[in-house]
Structure 1
């Protein structure tokens, strides 16, 4: 048994080539069970390997899936094109079928953002003001970042962690991919996916909002250092300006 670490929602161990995950909080249990329902449907429809968990135990809850191979990706142009193809496939899937398997829209904690984050960064008000107009009509990964995109030998080998899968704005999945990656990766992805100026702008909004959740999480677990790290991230991302040529 090898301890793999833990995220905000679950902890993971490697047991004989299988990844076993356990919820860190009771409310995460239904989320893990939902993955065992939706991922068997989703996996064959995507061009990259993804986890397909099964329930091993209900009390305590344990789910497991085969280890998706790879390490943190190097983010080159080839991988950008691969991720663009992956997102095209994911975003084209019928939301009705996802809904039937328990996937729902995400309710954004806007009032908590206003009460717990905005007083520290009042310049972020324009981000919150933009949220009522964003679409919510696409099946999205919901937490696509460098730790969830795996690669090896210059190509992508898989995408992991679908706990935040929901019906939302496709620009959510383009946030880090366009605004937190090297230009060669971002440009290749944008060309493959067909990113419009409107999508790029919304992706920047979501990218800048990313650390706001970290502030709330730090407050929830009573860890001021986590909350302070989130606020530092909020301030850093609010400084991002995107050239109209990118």
Structure 2
């Protein structure tokens, strides 16, 4: 058995080609079980492998899925950008009504906690921009470089669907358009058909990312994580471009 590490919500080990995940907190158990319902329905619709978990134990909650091949790519190329663009087109085309019937819903942002715990210049302006953002698409919800796998110059999978929800398609474009290498970002944008409106909303979601890091650092008592999150909040707020 090989220990794979832990995220904010779960720990993972590898045993006999299976990844076993356990919740780090009791409230995460239902989230893991929900993945065992939504992912078997979603996976056949997608052009890249994704985890398809099953319940191994109900008490305590343990789920398992076959290991998705690949590692975090050392370089993100234009070809990979096109692959991820095709992946997101397929994901965002999934029928929302069916996803809702399977238990997927919208995500409520902790705006009041943001306001109370992340006090930085320009923060209130960003929070004001959250109002009215669409919630009409099935989204991954936490798409970043650590969740995109590749090997031999191509993408081989996308992992970690714990935050899948009905939300704004732009949240899945936030990292790729604002932090990834230009050749990767440009290829993804062309393949996906990114509009000016999507690009503008992707900036909002990109700026909001470190706010969650601050709250998580506060929740677990990790002052270093909170400091890193605050530095990220301040840095990303400098990228805001006013609407014209």
Is 1:52 the counterpart of 2:81? The answer is no
Give distance in 2, aligned partners of 1:183 and 1:124: 27
Partner residue in 2 for 1:148 = 147
Residue correspondence of structure 1 range 173-184 to structure 2 within 5 A: 173-184=172-183
How do 1:84-123 and structure 2 match up within 5 A? 84-117=85-118, 119=119, 121-123=120-122
For 2:161, what is the secondary structure of its paired residue? Answer: coil
Shift of 1:72: 0.6
**Which residue is equivalent to 1:235?**
234
Distance 1:62 1:8 in 2: 16
Q: State the distance in 2 between where 1:46 and 1:140 align.
A: 12
**Could you tell me which residue of structure 1 aligns to residue 7 of structure 2?**
7
Partner of 1:80: 81
Q: Runs of at least 4 residues of structure 1 off by over 3 A?
A: none
Map 1:151-190 → 2, pairs under 5 A: 151-190=150-189
Q: Please say if 1:62 is aligned against 2:62.
A: yes
Listed as ranges, the gaps of 5+ residues in structure 1 are: none
Aligned length: 241
Query: For the residues of structure 2 that align with 1:145 and 1:240, how far apart are their CA atoms?
Result: 18
Give the Cα separation in 2 of the matches to 1:137 and 1:102: 15
Match of 1:223 in 2: 222
Deviation at 1:241, TM superposition (A): 5.8
Distance 1:122 1:109 in 2: 19
Q: Which ranges of structure 2 fall in alignment gaps of 5 or more residues?
A: none
State the shift of 1:122 in Å.
Answer: 2.4
TM-score of the pair, normalised by structure 2: 0.97
> Residues of 2 paired with 1:191 and 1:126: CA distance?
30
Deviation at 1:164, TM superposition (A): 0.1
